[in-house]
Amino acid sequence: MTLTATKTKAEQALSRNFEAVFGRLPGSAEVGEARKAAIGAFATLGLPHRRIEAWKYTDLRSLFRDALPPAIGADEADGEVTAAAIERALEGLATLEAHRLVFVDGAYRGDLSTPAPDRTTFTTLAAALAGAGGFTAELLTASRAPEHEAIIALNTAFMSDGAILHIGERLAAPLLVVFVRAGRQGRLVTTRNRITIGAGARATVIEAHVALAEAAPGQSNTLSEVCLAEAAHLDHVKLTLAGEGASQLATWMVALGARARYRAFQLTAATALARNSLFATFAGEEAKLDFSSCFLGRGSQHSDTTLVVDHAAPAGESRELFKGVLADRARSIFQGKVIVRQDAQKTDGKQMAQALMLSDTAEFDCKPELEIHADDVACGHGATSAEIDPDMLFYLLARGIPPPEARTLLIESFIGEAIDRLESEPVRSAMWRSAKERLLTLAHSQKAEDR
């Protein structure tokens, strides 16, 4: 006999909300069946909780008090979403020369988007689910996301829209996919993207998850499946500024073909709860993955970055760098699992997670895991957690730089290592702009009696 835990308020609400909106969710009958199966799977699993190893530090069952109703289409007249308001929300990305695809509250807005570039196929998820392009709801790599089945099931059940992109050649300008929260009522927005890069093709895809100033705090569940063919290159960037009080569960599932290069960068700030999960599989030999991520946390913000990198092919190289700057009672988690399969000889994997603690009440939890089954590999990991170096700080103060500016310089120096991994100068600039917006506040948040 199986003992089932009592459903929490949020879990019950999710099942109820599904029933309420099912009829309005896009897709063919087949998709509908897949959604029902997914919500059924979720009902059995429930929200992840601390006894599940991958969710040890981010117990969603206790963190989610309630589930917001899904935002389906434009079912509430919240007023015009102006292009100007979106520019403000995008911060530094607003001026980036890029192709733009805009989703407001989980629905595509062609009027706010620019045409997709030549030699790039773009379909909205909504259209694909309804039958265009022969899409199936079958998730490419669901089985490669252990302990995340509940979150993926919720994504399948509620997904309303997203970007399906196939890039077949070398894209000169980046593709900026904007997911903006605008509604003045709290809503759950569920999106799914699929990005495939053809053999030898190259692109930069930026996901901006932002919120308008007047938007109510929301919940979001976003999933991006990425497939890199042989010798394909993708720079995949994510800026998450979901909003005070907002939560985001983001899952990226990436498959690297032979000699593919996947460079990922994530900057998370101004978000109450963020879970960034990345599952990457080296499916072909000599592929490279470079992941760097930066979290700027204050108040009681909570960020959890969980990676599983599976070297299933030989001679792969993976590099992971995480930087967390934590003020007040902010909490940052980094879980980095690297699996090296038996045949993945000559794997080279390095991981580093660092936290800069700006208060006594901040917390950094770091859990590296190496599961190595091959015998000719070079794998290592490191973790540090430190306060601002007092000697460096004194040097700057002694030169007349006031304490908040001096701390800001040192915090910039700390996160620079992650941000400067971005190859594109305009993208790097945009990320610095969003980071610098927050740094002075972080630098000021030191306790009064500290220097």
Partner 1 sequence: MLEIDDLHVTLTEENRAILRGVGLCVPKGEAHAIMGPNGSGKSTLAYVLAGREGYRVTRGKVRWNGEDVLAMAPEERAAKGMFLAFQYPVEIPGVATLTFLRTALNAVLRKRGERELTTPEFMKKVRAEAAKLGIAEDILKRPLNVGFSGGEKKRMEILQMAVLAPSLCVMDETDSGLDIDAVRVVADGVNRLRDKDRALVVITHYQRLLNYIVPDRVHVMAAGRIQKTGGKELALALERSGYAEFTSA
Which of residues 339 and 356 has its CB atom nearest to partner 1 in the complex? Answer: 356
Round to whole Å and give the CA distance between 315 and 313.
7
Which of residues 199 and 396 has its CB atom nearest to partner 1 in the complex? Answer: 396
Strands 233-241 and 261-269, sheet pairing: parallel
Q: Is residue 343 a contact partner of residue 356, using CB atoms and an 8 Å limit?
A: no
Which of residues 68 and 418 has its CB atom nearest to partner 1 in the complex? Answer: 418
Of 33, 394, 423, 447, the one binding partner 1 (CB under 8 A) is 394
Residue 276 Cβ, how far from partner 1 at the closest point, in Å? 24
Which of residues 370 and 410 has its CB atom nearest to partner 1 in the complex? Answer: 410
User: Two tokens at 401?
Assistant: 């730089």
Of 45, 74, 116, 396, the one binding partner 1 (CB under 8 A) is 396
Which of residues 16 and 451 has its CB atom nearest to partner 1 in the complex? Answer: 451
Of 40, 69, 117, 403, the one binding partner 1 (CB under 8 A) is 403
Residue 421 Cβ, how far from partner 1 at the closest point, in Å? 13
Q: At what angle do helices 149-158 and 9-21 cross, to 10 degrees?
A: 30
User: Two tokens at 141?
Assistant: 């790599």
387 binds partner 1 (CB under 8 A): no
111 DSSP assignment? G
Binding to partner 1 by CB under 8 A, coded x per residue (else -) over 345-384, reads: ----------------------------------------
Q: Is residue 41 a contact partner of residue 156, using CB atoms and an 8 Å limit?
A: no
Backbone φ and ψ of 42, nearest 5°: -60, -45
Q: Is residue 154 a contact partner of residue 120, using CB atoms and an 8 Å limit?
A: no
Radius of gyration of the chain from its Cα atoms, rounded to whole angstroms: 21
Q: Is residue 229 a contact partner of residue 255, using CB atoms and an 8 Å limit?
A: no
Round to whole Å and give the CA distance between 262 and 53.
27
Which of residues 371 and 420 has its CB atom nearest to partner 1 in the complex? Answer: 420
Which of residues 140 and 409 has its CB atom nearest to partner 1 in the complex? Answer: 409
Round to whole Å and give the CA distance between 150 and 316.
30
Round to whole Å and give the CA distance between 51 and 256.
31
Strands 363-372 and 378-386, sheet pairing: unpaired
Residue 327 Cβ, how far from partner 1 at the closest point, in Å? 19
Of 401, 428, 436, 440, the one binding partner 1 (CB under 8 A) is 401
Residues 116-175 that bind partner 1 (CB under 8 A): none
Which of residues 343 and 395 has its CB atom nearest to partner 1 in the complex? Answer: 395
390 binds partner 1 (CB under 8 A): yes
Of 79, 380, 382, 402, the one binding partner 1 (CB under 8 A) is 402
265 binds partner 1 (CB under 8 A): no
Which of residues 131 and 382 has its CB atom nearest to partner 1 in the complex? Answer: 382
The sign one gets for the Cα dihedral 147, 368, 311, 341 is: negative
Round to whole Å and give the CA distance between 82 and 176.
18
User: How many residues of this chain interact with partner 1, rule: CB under 8 A?
Assistant: 24
Which of residues 66 and 450 has its CB atom nearest to partner 1 in the complex? Answer: 450
398 binds partner 1 (CB under 8 A): yes
Residue 141 Cβ, how far from partner 1 at the closest point, in Å? 37
Binding to partner 1 by CB under 8 A, coded x per residue (else -) over 408-427, reads: -xx-xxx-xx----------
How many Cβ atoms from other residues are within 10 Å of residue 74's Cβ?
14
Q: Of 196, 114, 206, which Cα lies nearest the Cα of 428?
A: 206
Backbone φ and ψ of 449, nearest 5°: -80, -10
Residue 392 Cβ, how far from partner 1 at the closest point, in Å? 5
Round to whole Å and give the CA distance between 450 and 80.
46
Residue 396 Cβ, how far from partner 1 at the closest point, in Å? 7
Which chain residues interact with partner 1 by CB under 8 A? 389-392, 394-403, 405-406, 409-410, 412-414, 416-417, 451
